[in-house]
A and B are shown apart, each in its own frame.
Chain A
Amino acid sequence: MSTVVLLACTGLGLGALYFLVASGLSLIFGLMDVLNFAHGALLSVGAYAAWWAATDGGTGFWLAVVFGTVVGTAASVLLELALIRPLYVRPRDQILATVGVGLALPALLMGVWGSDARPFPQPAALSGTVGLLGATVPVNRFVLMAAALAVLVALRLFLARTRYGLIVRAGVEDRAMVTALGIDVRRAFTLVFAIGGAAASLGGALAGLYFGSVNPSQGTGLLIFAFVVVVMGGMGSVTGAAVASVGVGLVQQFANYYTAAGLGDLSVVVLLAVLLLVKPRGLTGRLA
């Protein structure tokens, strides 16, 4: 029983991390048809910025998380303004540009801080464990879940209550028609990149807590699973991404534990292919 509880909590923590990456990815793709291959790199930027602030910067943990999120958001906005925006009329080149950034950014991090994993300072309050139904669960799992839940609630409020949220929801359905109502949809593009970058880099800062260390390829490694979540949850659907994140995180943990190592990862990746084949419309409806 205690193993199941621990696996469930770890799976949910991992799912929370996936959600932080996938929610932005999903909004960006839903609105702009841009599959952002640099999204994992944004997570790494957030992770390293937080790590740097917490070690060299000497700030406390929470301030470091804020710093990491701010840096990641700025990087994401810069990416949209400098590279994605000038390529709007060349959709494929937008994807290629994010591929290039996705290669270059982790390499830059590696150049500055080396390829080895760096231990992430764990604040005393979050490094302990809690007893839950007979299992000892690390506190950081719950930190991630709480962060993901907060982001989910904030995103839902933003989408439901604000004018830009309305524009994003409409743009996911029919971007051209949004412009035909006199709305400069490009501002919404920058905004979803900012949101996506913020969520991913927050995820990066908290991933340091979850994994106990940061390394340059962490984000890129998570990206593929975030793709699974996005496709499973439906493009542009934040709630769908949340449900899918939980599912993928749990399946992966349990399958990895109870079957041969790696089968969980494998099953999730194969699931991506199966999903796309079974409901291609979920992804390519507008791309055809």
Chain B
Amino acid sequence: MTAHLKRWWPLALLLVLIAAPYSALPLPGLLDGPLGSPGSLQLIALCLLYGGLATGYDLLLGRTGLLSFGHALYFATGLYATDLAMLELDLDLLPAALFGTACSVALALALGAVSLRVTGIGFSMVTLAFAQAGAILVQRNPGGYTGGEEGRSAPAPHLPDALVGIQNTANLYWIALAYLVLTLAVVHWTTASPTGRVWAGIRENERRVEVLGLRPYGFKLLAFTVSGALAGAGGVVYLLLTGGATPQAASSDATLALLVMVVLGGSGTRWGPLLGGVLYTWAAHRLGDLANSAAVADLPAALRVPLSQPLFLLGTLFVAVVYLLPGGLAKLPARLRTGRTPTAAAPAAALPEGAA
């Protein structure tokens, strides 16, 4: 029976999520309004979107072992390219979304091909540099296209009526849910494929993959491109959810947020990144509300100041997870079950790199 439960709970959860907009269940503490209210749906939709984005990012970090500091670039590309396609090319939403995602794929393919020529921390820094270049470009508003600090709003006339207005939040919510399901499916399917097994091999030990006669480069580029495509599609969903493109989406903080989500939830696990993305997004919003609430304003400064800064709390939480909970929240049940298994006593100053 429990085996059945284990097997079917994702489907049950999905059904619950699909039905959520029809529910008026109040969840005090978790959400401000009842479950089906536009405000709640908007927040849950964002949580699901970031759950999906984090899952897609983990294709690089947890599945292939690539630490990219530039993932926000592909997210922002999907976001801005879709928006601009509607604004400047006069396309409708669907072709614009396809165009935006295609732009992300192309950019990920091109920059990935270049970035992956270096390995280790060099790769991280090249991706950071490219993403930073993108962030600067967006900020500087070249030709008036990106709108600089203000960003650009999505043009309502190009959007289907069903996606405009607060009364249609449920539709946006379902789109976010569909995006999450799509991402999970893609990640699950690719990692279970023969290619996914090569990715796992690269993560464990790239040299051994080479010994088997395979070229890791192509496999890594595939992971980078698939992950970039998922990020671009996430950008489209983000555009719909928030009604515009703003430069924060391209900032290095956006990538770091994804990194925090993945590590928080559990890198390389099936549900961890999703869990981390949902928790992080929910916490960032709720903590933001908390920061502005009267209850916090009355606290003594020593408590008020840290509590009023969501990024401080999340940064601290992140460090705590890295430090105390390697493997993230997803590994927590297993750790609790086995009791406090001592982490393998490593030779203190032994620095095993280059060991042969």
List residues of A whose CB falls within 8 A of some B CB: 33, 35, 83, 86-93, 95-97, 99-108, 110-112, 175-176, 179, 184-186, 224, 227-228, 231, 260-262, 265-266, 269-270, 272-273, 276-277, 280, 283-284, 286-288
- Please determine whether B125 and A35 come into contact, CB atoms closer than 8 angstroms: yes
- Interface-side segment among B8-16, B242-250, B345-353: B345-353
A269-B136 CB under 8 A given contacts A87-B323, A89-B346, A89-B352: yes
The docked-state distance in angstroms from the alpha carbon of A33 to that of B353 is: 11
- Please determine whether A100 and B311 come into contact, CB atoms closer than 8 angstroms: no
The one of B136, B306, B315, B348 in contact with A262, judged by C-beta atoms closer than 8 angstroms, is: B136
Would you list which residues of chain B between 260 and 275 have a CB under 8 Å from chain A?
260, 263
The one of A83, A111, A273 in contact with B308, judged by C-beta atoms closer than 8 angstroms, is: A111
The docked-state distance in angstroms from the alpha carbon of A221 to that of B232 is: 26
The 5 A-B pairs with the shortest beta carbon distances in the complex, nearest first, are A104-B315, A103-B315, A107-B311, A287-B120, A100-B319
List of A residues within 8 angstroms of B346 by Cβ: 89
- Please determine whether B119 and A288 come into contact, CB atoms closer than 8 angstroms: yes
The docked-state distance in angstroms from the alpha carbon of A32 to that of B275 is: 33
- Please determine whether A112 and B125 come into contact, CB atoms closer than 8 angstroms: no
- Please determine whether A284 and B312 come into contact, CB atoms closer than 8 angstroms: no
The docked-state distance in angstroms from the alpha carbon of A104 to that of B326 is: 19
Q: Which of B119, B122, B136 has the most CB of A within 10 A?
A: B122
The one of B67, B253, B309 in contact with A108, judged by C-beta atoms closer than 8 angstroms, is: B309
B126 interface residue, CB < 8 Å from A?
yes
Q: Which residue of B lies closest to A29 (CB)?
A: B121
- Please determine whether B137 and A96 come into contact, CB atoms closer than 8 angstroms: no
Pull 7 A–B residue pairs with CB atoms less than 8 Å apart, ordered by A.
A96-B318, A103-B315, A179-B351, A269-B132, A276-B118, A276-B122, A280-B118
The docked-state distance in angstroms from the alpha carbon of A288 to that of B125 is: 14
B42 interface residue, CB < 8 Å from A?
no
List residues of B whose CB falls within 8 A of some A CB: 67, 114-115, 117-122, 124-126, 128-130, 132-133, 136-137, 139-140, 142, 252-253, 256, 259-260, 263, 305-306, 308-312, 314-316, 318-319, 322-323, 326, 346-354
- Please determine whether A92 and B67 come into contact, CB atoms closer than 8 angstroms: yes
Q: Which of A86, A97, A261 has the most CB of B within 10 A?
A: A97
- Please determine whether B129 and A270 come into contact, CB atoms closer than 8 angstroms: yes
A276-B120 CB under 8 A given contacts A96-B322, A107-B309: no
A97-B122 CB under 8 A given contacts A104-B312, A107-B311, A112-B305: no
- Please determine whether B305 and A227 come into contact, CB atoms closer than 8 angstroms: no
List of B residues within 8 angstroms of A272 by Cβ: 125-126, 129
List of B residues within 8 angstroms of A262 by Cβ: 136-137, 139-140
List of A residues within 8 angstroms of B323 by Cβ: 83, 86-87, 93, 97
- Please determine whether A284 and B119 come into contact, CB atoms closer than 8 angstroms: yes
- Distance in Å: Cβ of A229 to nearest Cβ of chain B: 12
The docked-state distance in angstroms from the alpha carbon of A112 to that of B316 is: 16
The one of A35, A88, A107, A175 in contact with B121, judged by C-beta atoms closer than 8 angstroms, is: A35
- Please determine whether A270 and B121 come into contact, CB atoms closer than 8 angstroms: no
The docked-state distance in angstroms from the alpha carbon of A96 to that of B327 is: 13
- Please determine whether B128 and A185 come into contact, CB atoms closer than 8 angstroms: no
- Please determine whether B256 and A231 come into contact, CB atoms closer than 8 angstroms: no
The docked-state distance in angstroms from the alpha carbon of A86 to that of B126 is: 28
The docked-state distance in angstroms from the alpha carbon of A276 to that of B350 is: 29
- Please determine whether B353 and A266 come into contact, CB atoms closer than 8 angstroms: no
Q: Which residue of B lies closest to A175 (CB)?
A: B351
- Please determine whether B129 and A276 come into contact, CB atoms closer than 8 angstroms: yes
Q: Which residue of B lies closest to A261 (CB)?
A: B140
- Please determine whether A266 and B118 come into contact, CB atoms closer than 8 angstroms: no
The docked-state distance in angstroms from the alpha carbon of A266 to that of B140 is: 10
- Please determine whether B260 and A100 come into contact, CB atoms closer than 8 angstroms: yes
Q: Which residue of B lies closest to A264 (CB)?
A: B136
List of B residues within 8 angstroms of A99 by Cβ: 256, 259-260, 318
- Distance in Å: Cβ of A86 to nearest Cβ of chain B: 7
- Please determine whether B128 and A284 come into contact, CB atoms closer than 8 angstroms: no
- Distance in Å: Cβ of B9 to nearest Cβ of chain A: 30
The one of A93, A105, A179, A273 in contact with B129, judged by C-beta atoms closer than 8 angstroms, is: A273
Q: Which of A89, A90, A185 has the most CB of B within 10 A?
A: A89
The one of B118, B137, B308 in contact with A277, judged by C-beta atoms closer than 8 angstroms, is: B118
Q: Which residue of B lies closest to A92 (CB)?
A: B67
List of B residues within 8 angstroms of A224 by Cβ: 128-129, 132, 252
- Please determine whether B305 and A111 come into contact, CB atoms closer than 8 angstroms: yes
- Please determine whether A100 and B315 come into contact, CB atoms closer than 8 angstroms: yes
- Please determine whether B318 and A103 come into contact, CB atoms closer than 8 angstroms: yes
- Please determine whether B318 and A287 come into contact, CB atoms closer than 8 angstroms: no
Q: Which residue of B lies closest to A86 (CB)?
A: B323
- Please determine whether A104 and B133 come into contact, CB atoms closer than 8 angstroms: no
- Please determine whether B129 and A103 come into contact, CB atoms closer than 8 angstroms: no
- Please determine whether A104 and B118 come into contact, CB atoms closer than 8 angstroms: no
List of B residues within 8 angstroms of A90 by Cβ: 326
List of B residues within 8 angstroms of A287 by Cβ: 119-122, 353
Q: Which residue of A lies closest to B344 (CB)?
A: A89
- Please determine whether B354 and A101 come into contact, CB atoms closer than 8 angstroms: no
